[in-house]
């Protein structure tokens, strides 16, 4: 009887494939159908992280019920689940790498022990005469020195634009950048983590700009600051892509004026 009960409990568990299909269905269903701009009744990030790691806690049923009715929380939970799975894979790869390094070190030690500790003698040191001193370099005239244009301060607010992947054209207002040397303050979407980020602006004729920076939370705004030079870009439509270092890209339509 005990064996039959154990077998039934295993049959009732979701497979990995079924779990991925359920998560994808939840993400597509609740990504935009249940907006909660004021974040009323939302659990904190620690609770959502615990749910993504399949931890049990007293209020787990209330949290699941809330996530099913709150698009921002369902988006954040989906991101935490992907991060947790990716990190588990990294830990496994690191463990395998440590084992390989340990085996290689043991093999090297065994070979050195069999051959003895004597190695080839290093070659003798040969002193070469010093090279003749080169004539002093003359400094370029100051007339030719170009002065870099001043930095323009620009803010891109992505807080209400969600964290779903792919370009989203259903946005309030249009993201735009001027031409020139820019210092961008990018307000990341709600639910984004602090840390190192990469920014990419791409468009026609294989024009691509890349920049890296660190996002930090200040006054409840997770802001990322980077510098870019769009002087060589023609006016028109481009694509803005942002990602946390090591994760997937989130894209937004952009116009350079």
Q: Which domain holds residue 39?
A: 14-116
75-115 pLDDT, tens digit each: 887 888 878 777 766 667 667 767 876 787 777 777 877 76
Residues 164 and 237 in one domain: yes
Query: How confident is the model over 164-170, as a mean pLDDT?
Result: 48
pLDDT of residue 121: 57
Q: Provide the 10 A C-beta neighbour count for residue 83.
A: 16
Q: How far is Cα 125 from Cα 58, in angstroms, rounded to an integer?
A: 73
Q: How confident is the model at residue 170 (pLDDT cuts 50, 70, 90)?
A: very low
* Contact criterion met (CB below 8 Å) for 43 and 194: no
- Does residue 237 form part of some domain? yes
- Report yes or no on 33 lying in a domain: yes
For residue 193, pLDDT beyond 50: yes
Same domain for 29 and 96: yes
Number of domains in the chain: 2
Residue with tokens 């959502």: 48
**Tokens describing residue 211:** 């920049």
SS3 content of the chain, % helix, strand, coil (to 5): 35, 25, 40
Q: Is the pTM of this model over 0.75?
A: no
Tell me the C-alpha distance between 10 and 234, whole Å: 60
Contact 252, 161 (CB under 8 A): yes
Residue 156 lies in a domain: yes
Domain end (from 94, 116, 138) = 116
Read off the CATH number of the domain in which 226 is found: 2.60.40
Chosen domain end from 116, 135, 164 = 116
Section 3-25 average pLDDT? 61
CB 70 within 8 A of CB 42: yes
Summarize pLDDT for 32-79 with one digit per residue, the tens: 666 777 788 888 888 878 877 777 778 778 878 877 778 888 788 788
């Amino acid at each position: 009887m005990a064996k039959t009960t154990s077998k039934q409990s295993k049959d009732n568990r979701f497979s990995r494939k079924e779990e991925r299909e359920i998560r994808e269905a939840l993400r597509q269903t609740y990504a935009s159908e249940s907006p909660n701009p004021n974040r009323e009744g939302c659990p904190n990030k620690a609770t959502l992280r615990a749910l993504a790691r399949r931890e049990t806690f007293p209020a787990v049923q209330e949290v699941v019920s809330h996530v099913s009715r709150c698009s921002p929380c369902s988006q954040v939970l989906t991101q935490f689940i992907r991060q947790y799975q990716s990190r588990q894979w990294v830990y496994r790869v690191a463990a395998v790498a440590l084992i390989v390094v340990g085996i290689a070190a043991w093999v090297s030690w065994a070979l050195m022990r069999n051959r003895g500790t004597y190695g080839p003698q290093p070659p003798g040191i040969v002193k070469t005469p010093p090279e003749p001193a080169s004539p002093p370099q003359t400094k370029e005239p100051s007339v030719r020195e170009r002065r870099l244009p001043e930095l323009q301060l620009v803010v891109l607010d992505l807080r209400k634009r969600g964290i779903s992947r792919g370009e989203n054209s259903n946005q309030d207002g249009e993201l735009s950048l001027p031409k020139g040397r820019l210092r961008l303050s990018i307000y990341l979407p709600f639910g984004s983590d602090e840390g190192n980020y990469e920014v990419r602006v791409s468009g026609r004729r294989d024009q691509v700009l890349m920049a890296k920076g660190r996002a930090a939370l200040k006054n409840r705004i997770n802001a990322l600051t980077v510098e870019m030079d769009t002087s060589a870009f023609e006016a028109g439509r481009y694509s803005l892509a942002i990602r946390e270092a090591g994760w997937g890209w989130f894209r937004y339509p952009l116009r350079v004026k």
